Structure 1
Amino acid sequence: MPGQPNKRQKRDDYRTSLSQSEHRIQLPKKKFYRQRAHANPFSDHVLTYPESPDTMDWSPYYPSFTITNENESHEDTEISNIPHLSKRVEIADIGCGYGGLLFALAPRFPDQLLLGLEIRTSVTEFVQEKIKAMRQQNSETGLYQNVACLRANTMKFLPNFFYKAQLSKIFLCFPDPHFKARKHKARIVSSTLNSEYAYVMKPAGVIYTITDVEDLHNWMVEHFEAHPSFERISKTEEDVDVCVKIMKSETEEGKKVERNGGHKFVACFRRFEDPPWP
């Protein structure tokens, strides 16, 4: 119908009105942030990333944890002109999607900073807008001040954001299976990437994986078990881990698998202590 705004125009108008609103109490509508399910990690995405963890300014993401008193100090503070936080990010959801896991975990770990990493622009914007709204809706309790999301390609830039042995938990939930053999190099779990995960993980930290594709599950188990820095956690320990329960039920993909009567394959891996230097 002539004069009727198309979907793109409606989406742009909605986002503009949301960004200009002084009161973002209303949660963003997912329909205006839809994007294809996966993105090519090898494409030349327009991304902003720090040269090293020392040059990363986290203050816009966690304003409530930003150090404002000049007399306060942060461990290993080396770049004096960059605002620092009272604590570091400790839990990362790689490929966080629309943030279902983040919003479920944040109240459970109020004293830890959680970060969602997502490569898709629109999906990242959705999570960021939802975080703003959730913080305002819970301003009296202070909930969700410990959660943030940024756009990043973790297959390329993970060590740019995190120090050695910084993270205690990493979540890899329903990653792109890349079914074709020639695409397996794009899988989020590989021998090379597992070494990067080992670098940023604390000793005894845990990597959580879940997928509805059995072939991908077997691939992830094979590659983590083959890596000298990880051991698989027993099924008994998985069953009592609250993070596993949340991961199974709170991600968008997990809910979809549940609705469709599919299977969820879970595997968790603990980071070994590094052996002493000879």
Structure 2
Amino acid sequence: MSDSLDSRQLDRYSRQLMIDGFDESDQRTLLSSRVLVVGAGGLGSAAIQYLAAAGVGTIGIVDEGRVKRSNLQRQIVHGVDDIGEPKVDSAARFVDALNPDVTVEKHPVRVTSETVESLLEGYDAVVDALDNFPARFLVNDAARLAGIPFVHGAVYGFEGQMMAFRPGGPCYRCLLPAAPDDDAIPSGEPMGIFPTLPGTIGCLQATETLKHCLEVGEVLDDRLLRYDASDATFTRTPLERRPECPVCGPDGITAVDDVDYDDRCRISE
């Protein structure tokens, strides 16, 4: 990569280059950054848009699904003409049209214990834009073992939450050791979601990911941020590492394929 931005890039990124303390070297850092977004649905749509617009040079997109009409209420990187197409293809076309500086790496595969390590390899951060607990726990576990930040986000109804789980701090299992019962929170099944909510949480995920890549600001890695769209309230809850955590604790696992995940994603020896 060139040591300086060209005239087109200076114009394109001019508004962020006006920020105090943000200069061309920071933009070059973004252009050399590699971020994996796991899920190209509602959360992923917002995160992908803003990571690409900001100039993250390589964005990996993992999703095995195809665009459905019911997705279009909230998954804004897809359009009517994309119905039936693989989501990774639709999202990649969106990014290509938005920013030619960005390379998209498409991964139209299911996240499994056999694929997760290779999917994460070479990325600086992973954005959790998943809609089911088994994949979310698996990516958290693999990301922690690989030393990669796991920028979590989730939405349901009017409520959403996010947190950047980074090496050295708590991981997702410190927040939720196992998946809740099926009758508590649906996982992987159609559920009601307020249309703008994934955009709100996905943008926050993109924000924390950019801050991590740039090493600026105070990354939200020790507090869980919750948002209730019904009354526009945010709450932050401190979170610490659990010594007994089976992933980031002193006796944690060493590989995802060394353990069995039961129906509630618990790690059993």
TM-score category of the 2 structures, normalised to the smaller one: 0.3 to 0.5
User: Normalized against structure 2, the TM-score is what?
Assistant: 0.38
TM-score in terms of structure 1 length: 0.37
Return the index of the structure with the highest Cα Rg.
1
